[in-house]
Amino acid sequence: MTIKSKTGFAYQAVYRYLSALIEEGEPDVPFRLPSLRALAGRLGVSVSTIQYSYTLLEREGRVYALAKSGYYARPPARVALAPDGSDLLQRLQAGQRRQSGSLAPLLALDGPLLRLERQVQRQYATLPGPAWNPCGDPELRRALAGRYTQSGAHQWHADHVYLGSDLRGVLDITFEALGLAGQTVLVATPGCPLILQALQLAGANLVELPLSDNGRLDLAAVRDQLNAGPVRLLVLDAVFGAVQGQCMPEDDLEAMAKLLNRHDVRLLENDVQGELCFSTARPLRERLASHRVLILGSLEPWLGAEASFAYLVAGGASKALSAAFQRRALRLPPLRQKAVARLLQQGLLDEQLPALRMRLQQQLWRLDRQVRSRLGRYLLAFHPVGGTGLWLRSRYPLDMRKVFERLLPQGLLIEPGPLFSTQGLHERYLRIGVQGLAEVSHGPLLNALAQALVEEHKGLALANH
């Protein structure tokens, strides 16, 4: 057997093969994986390719190495559905790995990235190697700071940027540095599950602010929360709500900025999908002083496992943040960081973003039409202004966690609304994702979803009688 990857490098195919192998294991029972040489011979690739694939999985916490013994897998637990939906994220991620081995990046930038890394490697072959920095490589930090500097009033520098190996790691370090235990944090939901989970583990007192179907916050409720007592942080998606795909009106953003300024509340903007708005919009952060703003971002949506780096851009709390990142002593690959910096500096990401936005918009509109045509009796679709998914509401009081349960054994995935809440909110909602530049047929999913909705609706009717 020889692996030949039509869509990427050989190690990506090896990574997918090993991911599938791990998923086949008995839940919660570690087992030994093939040796580097044995797997290289079996798959027809180099030992270094196998080593790199194992390194990626080890970074994700899915395998671990034992000296003189080899690599061992950690199969994910198969847990029952919790009433509050707290395990939904784990089960959804496991389903995604079984489906494709790994979440594919939105853009095919692995080729340019590898070419740039080879250039960097040749450059440093005759020079001292790049120094390790616990907050990230200065070249990449400068490149990211430059992307967020839009005017003289809102400028960012390299020492405002903190890099981590992944989004969850950056969240944990950031919330530790801010000392959120016992502090009140306002969070607009539906929101990013990873952020919600990290805030819970940090011991924050979470107050959810449900967004309306058109993406608006109840400003009176926000004002009441701010007047009721000290609020440490407001967490909001940048530019548009990434789950719903809706923008807040300009007047609401201006009113929100005045409230935050009056009460001296910091803003954490989740900018992981901020580049995917289909129209020009000004984010809330540009209406506040930079020392009150924190911006969370990730390179993984664009670069995938090749550079799953996440970052925080923060104008304030620099001493606490620097100390927290130094305590974690993250050792990110220096040559890869420099290659990513040059990819950004050369505009290779920006060149592809307009085409990506157009393709996503086309896919979402096509999916929107299909849902209205096939499932309009059961679901109401909200036309998105950006993002990678379609947000839907059941016309009947159905719990989408149960629909998720019906589809999961078939290898079909939806994202139930309670996934995006810590309190089990949005249970009548679901989200269907699209795949970036890849052409994917949603026909099988929509057919199975229609059947699941019919069965749930019948069950509801029987229960009411």
Predicted confidence at residue 104, as pLDDT, reads 67
With CA atoms as reference, report the closest residue to 363 among 452, 257, 278. 278
Per-residue burial over 118-129, b if 16 or more Cβ lie within 10 Å, else e, is eebeeeeeeeee
Predicted confidence at residue 57, as pLDDT, reads 82
Predicted confidence at residue 399, as pLDDT, reads 93
Residue 108, number of CB atoms within 10 A of its CB: 16
Using CA atoms, how far apart are residues 341 and 339, in angstroms rounded to an integer? 5
Contact status, residue 23 vs residue 94, Cβ threshold 8 Å: yes
Predicted confidence at residue 373, as pLDDT, reads 94
Domains of the chain: 10-73 (1.10.10.10), 113-348 (3.40.640.10), 353-464 (3.90.1150.10)
| Residue 164: partners with Cβ closer than 8 Å, 6 or more residues away | 136, 170, 173, 309, 310, 311, 312, 325, 328, 330, 332
SS (H, E, C) 40-66: HHHHCCCHHHHHHHHHHHHHCCCEEEE
Using CA atoms, how far apart are residues 77 and 25, in angstroms rounded to an integer? 10
Contact status, residue 62 vs residue 22, Cβ threshold 8 Å: yes
With CA atoms as reference, report the closest residue to 304 among 38, 81, 108. 108
Show pLDDT as tens, one digit a residue, over the chain (465 residues): 444 443 345 777 788 788 878 877 766 677 888 888 888 888 888 888 888 888 878 776 678 878 777 888 876 654 333 444 447 766 776 666 555 444 568 888 888 988 998 898 888 877 676 667 889 999 999 999 999 987 666 789 999 999 998 898 899 999 999 999 999 999 999 999 999 999 999 999 999 999 999 999 999 999 999 999 899 999 999 999 999 999 999 999 999 999 999 998 999 999 999 999 999 888 999 999 989 999 999 999 998 877 889 999 998 888 999 999 888 767 788 888 999 999 999 999 999 999 999 999 999 999 999 999 999 999 999 999 999 999 999 999 999 999 999 998 888 889 999 999 999 999 999 999 987 666 678 899 999 999 999 999 888 878 776
pTM beyond 0.75 = yes
Predicted confidence at residue 4, as pLDDT, reads 43
Peptide bond into 190 cis (omega under 30): yes
Beta strands in 112-265 (DSSP E): 161-164, 184-189, 205-210, 233-237
**Integer angstrom CA distances of residue 404 from 357, 411, 414:** 28, 11, 6
Amino acid letter for position 49: T
